Structure 1
Amino acid sequence: MITIKSEQEIRMMHEAGKQVAALHKEIAKIIRPGITTLQIDAFAEQFMTQIGATPEQKGFNGYRFATCASINDEICHGFPNERPLQDGDIVTIDFVINLNGSLADSAWTYAVGSISEEAHRLMEITKQSMYKGIEQALIGNRLGDIGQAIQSFVEPTGFSVVRDFCGHGVGPTLHEDPQVPHYGKAGTGLRLKEGMVITIEPMVNTGGWHAKMDLNDWTARTVDGSLSAQYEHTVAITANGPLILTAQD
């Protein structure tokens, strides 16, 4: 079911989004070689508690953590763990804040120490592709316009767009329709309407796009062991164009 949000509901989601952005900025300050993703998870949950919010994904279908932490070849839904991050790693931290019943969702990929040129390029291309998709989040456009904008930007670089996972509607529940693929054909798919709120969250690999699941039935990683990055914003479809509810600037 697709829910259309009122202006008041979008304002409330924007307040949650501002806290998501603030937490990402704080995480950027503590990412370093030697820290564990379990420590980052505890830091994130404490931040949420202090602002009177809760981690929406904790308990979702039995998920145990406040964040997802996906390292190197992990595409998404990595479990925070006690492995110290190493110089040269990249790690995606993904979380959803529930602030007074309003949700906001964002993932960001972070460099750990000094990373390779390939990893840096992957991060930049992935982030740019997200914004290419957001530019198409306009009233009257279709979901295929978002996917095509991302795919046509990424694939000429030699990287690939993950197809097994996609963006989604969000609020009042964590995952709602519509599904938002990050590949596709312009002019196809559901037409966007004012008041929709969706996530645009491309996952991009340096190798092939295929994914495989870990034994925990949550964590997806690249089949070929290549690096993967992800950037995600929560975006409202408005009469004034796309409104990024989780913007960090």
Structure 2
Amino acid sequence: MEKCNLCRIKSELCNSHAIPDSVFRSLFKKGNGQAIKLSSNERSPNCKSQDSWATEQLCNRCETKLNINYDQYGLNLLRGKVGEIEKGSEGVYFLNIDTLKFRSFVLSVFWRGAVSEHENYKTIEVSSGFLELIRSSLVRSAKVSKNSCTVFVQRLVDTTEGGFSESNLRELVVSPFPRTYEVRGHLYSSITMIFLGFCFEIFPSPIHSSEKISQFALGSCKSSYTFPYLEITEIPEVLDLMVSSLRKVNQGLSNV
């Protein structure tokens, strides 16, 4: 037996997911049991896969706890089953939601990815102190303090002619990737995750220097949040992946 990453008690471990398993199950269902895998590695061909990025890391008790306390609420919100939704010209407005609980869901996914040994989460590199802060909150079934970090969430769109539909964007899952920004002379690092048609960006060092930034920080308002629209083609990391994958098709490096 090995130690559970959450409660740290020796136990039989589950095959645990960071990005929830239901996200992958939906992809596999639509793809006759498989999803299309694209890699930024120029030598890796486009191919089909049944990999849901799971590793043994949580005991059954902790797996169930995270599923009930965080995943159920977060996934229902992302699927439009929680609160009231209004679509505007600049984003999607969610009313009557618990933004701190939703924020904790995002951070629970982030934490599971950070402690996972799966290769698709290896790019998540943050301090052990930040991970311990999240872990201790999850162990106590508590909401992660909104002052511990800054989280932004945006709704993916594609307004280009013949571009991706909303349904297409919901089927896109991208391995987390790092970024660095300069805000008023200070450098901030972030990790971005993409799934279910949303882009989640986590800054382990909270950003307090801009009122505009604070306005779009998840949890700044406890009962509502505006998910600003984000063009999928304006994410350089994703655009580069698409260009690379198209090049592989032209080079015969594609099995799909």
| TM-score bracket for this pair, using the shorter chain length | under 0.3
Q: Please tell me whether Structure 1 or Structure 2 has the larger radius of gyration of its CA atoms.
A: 2
Question: Could you tell me the TM-score, scaled by structure 2's length?
Answer: 0.27
